[in-house]
């Protein structure tokens, strides 16, 4: 390695230490030849990136070394992946070409690097560049999974070092990760990485809530550890007596999952019983795994009473991402429920490192088959060349489901589907032709419609008819990507067939009017009838929705139509169209100051999240309604920021000339005498807050109140929420 590439002794030490760390992390998987390849890739990458630095100021080469180390240490990948990770940014960012990579490291590494290289940044109003990049990533999944593995490792290191970025850039990266990379990591079985993604996202999207829960976890740590020791001691003693080779770990649940439980179950932090889980990992031969897990279960339940409703057997029936484990929830002597996870060493490695680890255990074909089937579904999605990138990504995300149900055919064959799957999803899962001709199903012997949602354990027999044709309404209730793709493809074919009739009708009309049947004349008709495409024009004509007699209103010159510009319908909001706004603004530099004019473009506060001064916000350029201001924690923010990053603008509130904005609160608590009076009394004493509406419902001693208020900013609202929370009987106060 040429040491002249280092700018300083400090850089040299940092890079060499990082490289030694990589070698240490990969020591179990490499021989002498592997070490030579890794060293060669390191030297090439150091030379290529020598003049580059990250935004934090550190040498850029530290990033690919860190990505390679994640591949080795946290994913258990081999030399080819480590080499590709070291070189993953060279083709895109330096003078190194794909041919150079192939000449030095072979075709396989070239193929992986090609899959990791982003598409050129060509701007197009109708597609999201990020969606196209996602699409390219997904295209490579069916060719070589290592592309997806390295991409996840790359994103993980970027997320770990996200603190040095601008807040708006940080928000976009978090949203992209939440939208695709976290579900993808889950689907590929990287449980630890998925949890870390979610933790970092939550830390930056909800910093105050994150700090509150983190502080409570820290305060209760000693009590928790003491409880865990007391709970696990008798289990450990019994396992030792029975000569098990085992480890017992206690895993505290992630902050986002704790917050979800607080929200979903409407409880406080102190009321959550499963803040941690006990994990028992046994080392046993493959053929004894199932019986060993159940023997351990028997020992645990000898000491503690299990909850039969909380038993999850993923040893007999692994999840489709390869996850295998036996989960039970038992009652401790102190009256607290405790989750216990029982698994083998092999299962634990697969749970943490996913399919990368699974390749080491090829004897177990169950999960391989399930994964091959998922890859087959991805390929089926790719077969539809007409779907645009955004549509493709949304359909693909449906295949990244976490909750699954198990359905049986009349012959007893098992099929795995996502939760909320319908009888129509099941029909398409069996075969495309069965789905397209499905008219209903017998579920457990009872005749039910196509939209019926199935439950685990259902036995389903599909009923078909040759006369059946797919309907657009079907897209409203199917949940699997396979079903959606096949329905859309079939509907598109039907539209094309009908459109061909419309084309013939226009040809005949043009002949009668002595007009040329040319692309120019058809283009004028599209504008005249305000049609988005030629196919849509033909389709509407065939369906009789367009009156071709109106063509006579157009001028005709030399067998060609002439569009009178004065008669064109002008959109009064034309200045606020997507293309016009994007062409006039710089999304990286421009900031909307809410309260001031912004380059003569309209902007409004979005109704979906009703931002008020003090909220963290961003601007989003809509397709036809100008710019909308959204809260960064808006329910729609993740999709907008990840799929349409090029349409996002920075936004901030103007500090003076505050204006009242609407906010809604939901209050839950015990229905105590005078509690409503206490709430309204607090509002009436607040000078800066006006009430618009209030409603309370009481049921079996518990009440829920909804209050709509006008407030100036989040500071006043937070103070009000704090006062509500201090009222006796109030359990929770949340802003909608």
Return the active site residues.
92-93
* Closest to 111 in 3D by CA, of 70, 139, 74: 139
d(CA 389, CA 134): 8
Measured CA distances, 552 to 293, 514, 561 (Å): 80, 12, 10
In angstroms, the Cα distances linking 175 to 372, 538, 645 are: 29, 40, 10
Token match 């038992």: residue?
A: 330
Query: How far is Cα 370 from Cα 322, in angstroms, rounded to an integer?
Result: 8
**Edge-first strand listing for the sheet containing 591-594:** 591-594, 648-653, 617-621, 627-631, 603-605
Using CA atoms, how far apart are residues 116 and 110, in angstroms rounded to an integer? 10
Tally of residues, the chain: 736
Distance CA 606, CA 610 (A): 6
Extract the tokens encoding 137.
């990533």
Instruction: Give 734's strand partners.
Output: 666
Residues 402 and 140 sit within 8 Å (Cβ to Cβ) = no
Paired sense of beta strands 276-282 and 337-344, if any: parallel
Distance of CA 489 to the CA centre of its chain: 24
Question: In this structure, is the dihedral angle defined by the CA atoms of residues 675, 676, 682 and 685, taken in order, positive or negative?
Answer: negative
Residue that has been written with the tokens 């209103």 in this structure:
553
| Pairing relationship of beta strands 627-631 and 603-605 according to DSSP bridges | parallel
Separation CA 554–CA 87 (nearest Å): 61
Q: Partners of 618 in the beta sheet?
A: 630, 650
Cβ proximity of 728 and 670 under 8 Å: no
């Amino acid at each position: 390695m040429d040491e002249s590439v280092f700018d300083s002794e400090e850089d040299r030490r940092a890079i060499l230490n990082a490289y030694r760390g990589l070698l240490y992390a990969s020591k179990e998987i490499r021989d002498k030849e592997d070490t030579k390849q890794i060293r060669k890739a390191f030297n090439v990458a150091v030379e290529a990136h020598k003049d580059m630095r990250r935004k934090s100021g550190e040498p850029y080469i530290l990033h690919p070394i860190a990505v390679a180390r994640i591949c080795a240490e946290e994913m258990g990948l081999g030399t080819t992946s480590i080499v590709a990770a070291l070189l993953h940014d060279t083709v895109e960012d330096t003078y190194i070409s794909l041919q150079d990579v192939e000449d030095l490291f072979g075709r396989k590494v070239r193929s992986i690097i090609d899959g990791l290289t982003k598409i050129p940044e060509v701007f197009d109003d109708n597609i999201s560049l990020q969606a196209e990049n996602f699409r390219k990533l997904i295209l490579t999944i069916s060719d070589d999974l290592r592309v997806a593995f390295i991409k996840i490792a790359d994103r993980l290191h970027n997320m770990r070092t996200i603190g040095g970025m601008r807040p708006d850039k940080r928000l976009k990266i978090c949203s992209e990760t939440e939208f695709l990379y976290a579900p993808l990591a889950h689907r590929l079985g990287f449980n630890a990485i998925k949890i870390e993604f979610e933790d970092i996202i939550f830390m930056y999207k909800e910093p105050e809530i994150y700090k509150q829960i983190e502080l409570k976890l820290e305060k209760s740590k000693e009590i928790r550890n003491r409880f865990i020791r007391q709970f696990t001691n008798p289990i450990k003693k019994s396992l030792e007596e029975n000569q098990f080779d085992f480890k017992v770990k206690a895993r505290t649940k992630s902050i986002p999952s704790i917050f979800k439980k607080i929200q979903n179950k409407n409880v406080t932090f102190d009321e959550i019983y499963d803040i941690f889980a006990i994990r028992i990992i046994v080392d046993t031969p493959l053929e004894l795994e199932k019986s060993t897990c159940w023997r351990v279960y028997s020992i645990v339940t000898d000491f503690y009473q299990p909850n039969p409703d909380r038993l999850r057997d993923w040893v007999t029936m692994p999840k489709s991402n390869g996850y295998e484990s036996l989960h039970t929830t038992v009652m401790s002597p102190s009256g607290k429920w405790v989750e216990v996870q029982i698994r083998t060493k092999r299962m634990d490695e697969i749970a943490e490192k996913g399919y990368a680890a699974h390749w080491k255990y090829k004897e177990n074909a169950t999960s391989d088959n399930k994964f091959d089937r998922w890859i087959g579904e991805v390929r089926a999605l790719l077969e539809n060349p007409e779907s645009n990138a955004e549509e493709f990504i949304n359909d693909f995300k449906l295949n990244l489901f976490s909750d699954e149900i198990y359905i049986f055919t009349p012959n007893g064959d098992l099929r795995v589907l996502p939760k909320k799957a319908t009888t129509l999803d099941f029909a398409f899962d069996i075969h495309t032709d069965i789905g397209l001709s499905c008219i209903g199903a017998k579920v457990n012997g009872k005749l039910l419609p196509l939209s019926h949602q199935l439950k685990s354990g259902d036995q389903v027999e599909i009923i078909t008819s040759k006369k059946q044709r797919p309907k657009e309404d079907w897209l409203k209730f199917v949940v699997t990507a396979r079903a959606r793709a096949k329905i859309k493809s079939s509907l598109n074919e039907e539209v094309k067939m009908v459109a061909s009739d419309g084309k013939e009708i226009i040809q005949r009309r043009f002949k009668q009017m002595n007009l040329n049947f040319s692309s120019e004349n058809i283009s004028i008709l599209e504008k005249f009838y305000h049609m988005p495409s030629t196919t849509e024009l033909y389709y509407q004509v065939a369906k009789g929705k367009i009156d071709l007699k109106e063509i006579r209103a157009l001028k005709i010159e030399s067998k060609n139509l002439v569009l009178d510009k004065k008669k064109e319908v002008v959109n009064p909001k034309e200045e606020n169209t997507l293309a016009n706004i994007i062409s006039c603004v710089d999304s990286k530099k421009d900031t909307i100051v809410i309260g001031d004019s912004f380059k003569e473009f309209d902007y409004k506060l979005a109704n979906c999240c009703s931002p008020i001064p003090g909220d963290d916000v961003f601007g989003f350029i809509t397709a036809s309604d100008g710019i909308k201001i959204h809260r960064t924690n808006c329910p729609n923010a993740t999709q907008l920021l990840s799929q349409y990053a090029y349409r996002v603008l920075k936004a901030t509130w103007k500090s003076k000339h505050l204006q009242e904005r609407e906010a809604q609160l939901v209050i839950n608590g015990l229905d105590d005498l005078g509690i409503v009076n206490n709430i309204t009394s607090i509002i009436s004493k607040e000078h800066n807050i006006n009430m618009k509406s209030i409603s309370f419902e009481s049921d079996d001693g518990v009440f829920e109140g909804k209050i709509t208020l006008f407030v100036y900013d989040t500071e006043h609202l937070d103070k009000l929420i704090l006062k509500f929370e201090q009222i006796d009987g109030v359990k929770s106060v949340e802003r909608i």
